[in-house]
Structure 1
Amino acid sequence: MSTTWELNDDDKYALLELLPRATSVAQLTIGRTYGGIRTVGFPELKSIPFDEADIKNKVKKVAAAVRAVAQKQEDPTTLDTAADVFETATSITKTRETWATVAEPAFKSLRTTLAGADAELTDKQEELLSEIEELAENITGDKDAQQKARSWAVTTIPKFIYIDEYPDLAGHQDIAAYIQRKSQSQLNDSDKNFEKLCKVAGLDPEGLQTLLGQNDHETRNQLVNRASAVVTAEIKRLWKDRALKIRFNLDAHHLDTIISDPTSTYDVEINLNERSRGFQWFFAFYIAFSADTDGGHAENAVILLDEPGLYLHAKSQSDLLRHFDVDFSNQILYSTHSPFMVPTHALDSVRTVNIAEGAGTTVTNDPTGDAKTLFPLQAALGYDLAQSLFIGPNNLIVEGVTDFWIMSAVSAYMIETNRTSLNPTLTMTPAGGAQKVSYMVALLTSESLNVLVLLDTERDSKATKAELLKSRLIREQNVVFVSEAFTPTPNEADIEDLLDPAIYESLVTESYSAELKGRTLSLNANIPRIARRIETGLSDLGIAFHKTRPTRLFLKKMASEPEKILSDQSLIQFETLFELINSRLDKQVSRGNKPFEV
């Protein structure tokens, strides 16, 4: 396994202290084999400059300078000999390491001889000697410096804490027994979890026992009441299922964690041990990780969780996700099969894990895999989509998911480039086909929401419009056809026709490259809609056409090279469509909830 790490400014400074030449290093790689051997690499580390011709030239100049100084001596033999030995030793340049190993003692010998002869070089000559001397020192010391840097890297990366079994937190604690086991260094897992509870709640078990011995029950009760208020406030913030109250109850040597529902009729108090398995898990998780990440051993750790929230129902799993986002500075990685643990607000953080017999286990941020792998993601998106239907007061219904993808991506690009985009208050919803648009319109208008419909221009869509108007579900001006973005207006048009036909064809050929290998896709120019032309052309080759494939590729290229996907003409047509939709929305909003009044 190999990982790549980015260095912050403090990391870079620490690295330079150990490896001064790492001025260009902003990343490092750390790997580990199954045998536990770690490897560290600095891919951006530049090699030490080593110019053989330049070195020989400087060596000759230094040797000549020494010989010139020798002529000023009564006995020049010593310095002449030293110059010859120096030049011979430092001219061996087979490899930088060989040269540096031989040159370093030669530098020391020459300096000793010069000092013994009370001879000095000029400043310029001394600078030349120092340059190649420093080069030799850097080369010979580089191996040790890199090793120190590698050791630093291994000790500096965050700890990884993997958790598959989550802590149990007992609702009944014997403080005296706990203190005794602690004095004997015999704490069990339950005791350690109790310590975490006390840390989060601000309780001191030893202090409580001391107060018990002094019969100071009032102070003890004040302390646990304050702790109860602290924990209750946090649980109310985190646990959205219902407002619960936490009370710590002292009974001599024992501390009980009592949970009650203050909104219930009788406000019955129940020990934590008797609460639902889901709440016990959530409470224990909150206590354990609050303690461990706030000055504890997991403060700067990367936390790896296996199936967190398994005992929680859907709404509480969403609360857990918010807990991850808001209350932890740690990086958290977790596995899940639950669609409610998929952060649909941050899909770029989602990875799918696939296991194949030939390829083994692969993890990717592309939404790929078999049905079992993708089901949680699909279900999460479907749930999020269903929830979003009633969030926005203004809604735009499109026929299919590919229409939704294209419109959303292009509108986002328009915002980035300061062009006309869809009104940001519009909630766009794919109906799943023209036949289902009427049901979606009926559903939304029943909630007194503003509804617009965008339809492809073809026979089924025109029938859909007629049905909507006949049922008086929507005003005629609230139905927009894609063809209205064109001048002149064509008889038929899909969302895909807003794209350059050649570009859309290239998306198809690339996304179907495996099926089209060695085959030619022929398109009938007499078919008015590009998607229909593609479908017919592929059908002639015995290939089924799915618009999602080129559209996925469209989304990918929109993220990396949108200017190559959207021609100037396409931008004009999308802007025309967006302006039309926005103006129809403005008229609808100005009328309020009276769709059929002028």
Structure 2
Amino acid sequence: MRLASFQITNFRSINDSGPIDTPQITAILGRNDSGKSNLLRALHSLNPAEGLAELSPIKDFPRHRRLEECHGDTPVVATRWSLDDSERAELAQILPRAAGVRHVTAGRGYGTARWTGLEGLGDLSLDVSDIKGKVRKIVPAVKAAAEKLAEQARATLEQAADAFDAAMILSPDYIRWSAGAVAALQSLRKAMAAADAELSDKQEQMLVELEEVARSIANDTPALARAKEWVLQKLPRFICVDEYPALPGRQNIAEHLARKGWGQAAPEQRNFEKLCKVAGLDPQQLQDLLEKNDQATRNQLANRAGSVVTAEIRRLWKDRELKVRFNLDGPYMDTLVSDPNRAYDVEVNLDERSRGFQWFFSFYVTFFADTKGAGDAVLLLDEPGLHLHARSQADLLAHFEQDFGNQIIYTTHSPFMVPVHRPDAVRTASTSEAAGTTVSNKAEGDARTLYPLQVALALSQTAGEAAKPQQRESTARAGVPSRELIEPVASLP
């Protein structure tokens, strides 16, 4: 399923966000404290990877409203999902009348109960004249067969025929009618079997068709319940990442394993576990090899892990080609980074690299570890790339588009994280005292809200102009836009 849109209500700064359309990648722009993060937090609560939990009215219900207004079913999240062809076929197998359903909905309130819907689900319908016509032919045929029986057997079969005739009279409540019709059909079958009475092939076929109609209606209620449960089971998980804590450049493997065994792993240990997952290393295996004094195997594993991580970092970090190496020193593992293309290829511990690279490395490790095996999870990222250079932010955006099949929704106020080549992906968040946080599917808002988009468009135009042949050649060679191209950007509000 693909998230088509969502809407947040009654959550923190949000009274009603309005419907927010979500293509493959959605960028939500807004000034600081406009409520962008609250949108992601609320959406994440619908189906978090960590498991469903109640929301806190004290913490999450809008502060300007009375707590008595908040109940377990007070709506918070409403979502709309598109189904692909295989999902539509699977749903129709569960509930035949859902064959035309192309979108489903799901939502939640402050309690843990979630609700679902099938958009465009057709009403239960019956061909009344067809049912009446078949009944009019079957009842006389049964009574005709009863005429050939002894008096007591005849009376029993005629009673069953009359009961069947009465039960097959349609009522507006199709579900209730179907329960009576199924029971009457079963009684008629038993009476005919007991009397050894038979109908013609054509009449028998009519009886079978009536049984199928009655059972399909009787089964609709449990089938509808199964269809709604199917929607919940199919919902993609939401993975929300709003922090990328720095990874320690040196880790004591023995201490890590001990803390893990005691259930006292600190954030640094948990992040080290993620690094090992990404690099294909097993801390317990490394410790066992140390105790066996098998340094050769340990070093081979470390070298392979360094090559794996280096290849990915070079693919994603465009600033310059760096090399990552894991050095095993007794119980310690150091993460060392070097620049082979520099005149002096000096290895530096990760802790001593630039803040931007540390952020990117942590992002890569944390994001990869958290999302690996997540399948069709929807990724929610709050202000990614804040510490990155402008060009690296652009590389990060390209990474989102090229390396992930997942839907991604992220917030930003950086012009370098605005996908100007995909204007349909940009949403703007605004806030006011009266309305709270609202979101527009168009580029709307005050000057501060639109500023990142305006700058992004201006920079994109500048880059396009600079790329034109025979135009400001010296400026282009220097990589610096000319003054007349910069002035429109500087004059933006």
TM-score (norm 2): 0.76
Q: How does 1:336-355 map to 2 (within 5 A)?
A: 336-355=412-431
Counterpart pick for 2:306 among 210, 228, 251 = 228
1:10 pairs, out of 77, 83, 86, with: 86
1:476 matched to which residue of 2?
none
| Structure 1 CA distance for aligned equivalents of residues 475 and 361 of structure 2 | 40
Q: How does 1:314-353 map to 2 (within 5 A)?
A: 314-353=390-429
Larger Rg: 1 or 2? 1
Structure 1 equivalent of residue 362 of structure 2: 284
Partner of 2:288: 210
- Pair 1:270-2:345 in alignment: no
What is the Cα deviation at residue 154 of structure 1? 0.7
Q: Which residue does the alignment assign to 1:42?
A: 118
Counting matched residue pairs gives 399
> Is residue 303 from structure 1 mapped to residue 369 from structure 2 by the alignment?
no
> By percentage of residues, which structure has more strand?
2
Alpha-carbon offset, residue 358 of structure 1: 4.4
Compute the displacement of 1:301 (Å).
1.4
Matched, 1:54 2:130: yes
Q: Could you say which structure has the higher helix fraction?
A: 1
- Other structure's SS at 1:119 match: coil
Q: Distance in 1 between matches of 2:180 and 2:220?
A: 15
Q: Which residue of 1 aligns with 2:467?
A: 391
Give distance in 2, aligned partners of 1:189 and 1:135: 60
Do 2:105 and 2:118's aligned partners in 1 also have CA atoms closer than 8 Å? yes
State whether residues 102 and 119 of structure 2, in contact with CA within 8 Å, keep that contact through their aligned partners in structure 1: no
Output the amino acid matched with 1:372.
R
* Contact 1:59 1:91 survives alignment (8 Å): no
> Does the CA contact (< 8 Å) of 2:327 and 2:333 recur in 1?
yes
Q: 1:514-563 CA distances to partner (integer Å, 9 max, x unpaired)?
A: xxxxxxxxxxxxxxxxxxxxxxxxxxxxxxxxxxxxxxxxxxxxxxxxxx
Taking the aligned partners of 1:23 and 1:447, their CA distance within structure 2 comes to 58
- Match of 1:471? none
Q: Which amino acid aligns with 1:64?
A: P
Runs of 4+ in 1 over 4 A off after TM superposition: 443-448
After superposition, the C-alpha distances for 1:384-414 in whole angstroms (9 at most, x for unaligned) are 11111122338xxxxxxxxxxxxxxxxxxxx
Q: Which amino acid aligns with 1:249?
A: N
CA distance in 2, matches of 1:197, 1:238: 16
* Of 189, 195, 201, the match for 1:123: 201
How do residues 75-154 of structure 1 correspond to structure 2 at under 5 angstroms? 75=151, 76-154=154-232
Q: 1:10: Cα distance to partner?
A: 3.3
Say if 2:128 and 2:170, in contact at 8 Å, map to a contact too: no
Change (3 A) 1:318 1:222: same
Show the counterpart of 1:33: 109
Letter in 2 for 1:126: E
Local SS of the residue matching 1:73: coil
Aligned partners of 1:341 and 1:446: how far apart in 2?
25
What is the 5 A alignment of 1:552-563? Answer: none
Pick from 19, 39, 64 the counterpart of residue 95 of structure 2: 19
1:518 alignment counterpart = none
Q: Give the match's secondary structure for 2:96.
A: coil
Measure the CA separation in 2 of the matches of 1:163 and 1:109: 61
Return the letter of the residue paired with 1:40.
T
CA distance in 2, matches of 1:221, 1:84: 88
Equivalent of 1:253 in 315, 327, 331 = 331
Distance in 2 (alpha carbons) for counterparts of 1:200 and 1:4:
34
Q: SS where residue 21 of structure 1 aligns?
A: helix
| Structure 1 pair 447–233 and aligned structure 2 pair: CA distance change class (3 A) | closer
The CA deviation at 1:2 is 2.4
1:349 to 1:78, Cα distance in 2 relative to 1, 3 A: same
Query: What SS does the corresponding residue of 1:352 show, helix, strand or coil?
Result: strand
Structure 2: how far apart are the matches of 1:347 and 1:87?
Answer: 64
Match of residue 373 from structure 1: 449
* Structure 1 unaligned regions, length at least 5: 395-440, 449-598
Q: Aligned with 1:32: secondary structure? A: strand
SS state at 2:303 partner: helix
Per-residue CA distance 1:232-264 (angstroms, 9 max, x = gap): 121111111122121111110000111122233
- Which whole-Å CA distance do the structure 2 matches of 1:344 and 1:15 have between them? 38
The 2-side partners of 1:106 and 1:314 are apart by 75
* Separation of aligned partners in 2, 1:322 and 1:446: 26
Indicate if the aligned counterparts of 2:89 and 2:99 stay in contact, CA closer than 8 A: no
Q: Distance in 1 between matches of 2:309 and 2:423?
A: 32
Alignment of 1:418-429 (within 5 A): none
State whether residues 82 and 113 of structure 1, in contact with CA within 8 Å, keep that contact through their aligned partners in structure 2.
yes
Q: Deviations over 1:493-521 (max 9, x none)?
A: xxxxxxxxxxxxxxxxxxxxxxxxxxxxx
Change (3 A) 1:446 1:320: closer
- Checking the alignment, whether the CA contact within 8 Å between 2:323 and 2:340 is kept in structure 1 is yes
Q: CA deviation at 1:23?
A: 2.0
Deviations 1:321-368 (A, max 9, x none): 122122222211100000001112222211112224444433232111
2:316 maps to a residue whose letter is L
Aligned ranges 1:451-466 → 2 under 5 Å:
none
Q: Which residue of 2 aligns with 1:408?
A: none
Query: What SS class does the counterpart of residue 160 from structure 2 fall into?
Result: helix
Change (3 A) 1:186 1:71: same
Q: Provide the residue aligned with 1:244 in structure 2.
A: 322
1:192 aligns to 2:270 (yes or no) = yes
SS in 2 for 1:389: helix
- In 1, the alpha carbon distance for the partners of 2:296 and 2:178 equals 77
SS of 2:466 mapped into structure 1: coil
Alignment correspondent of 1:159: 237
In 2, Cα distance between equivalents of 1:236 and 1:160: 28
Higher relative contact order (CA 8 A, sep 6+): 2
1:368–1:30 CA distance, 2 compared to 1 (3 A): same
Give the CA deviation at 1:113.
Answer: 0.6
* 1:66 maps onto 2:142 in alignment: yes
Map Cα deviations across residues 397-440 of structure 1 (whole Å, 9 max, x no partner). xxxxxxxxxxxxxxxxxxxxxxxxxxxxxxxxxxxxxxxxxxxx
**Contact 1:292-1:299 at 8 Å conserved across structures:** no
What percentage of aligned pairs have identical amino acids?
52
> How far off is 1:183 after superposition?
2.9
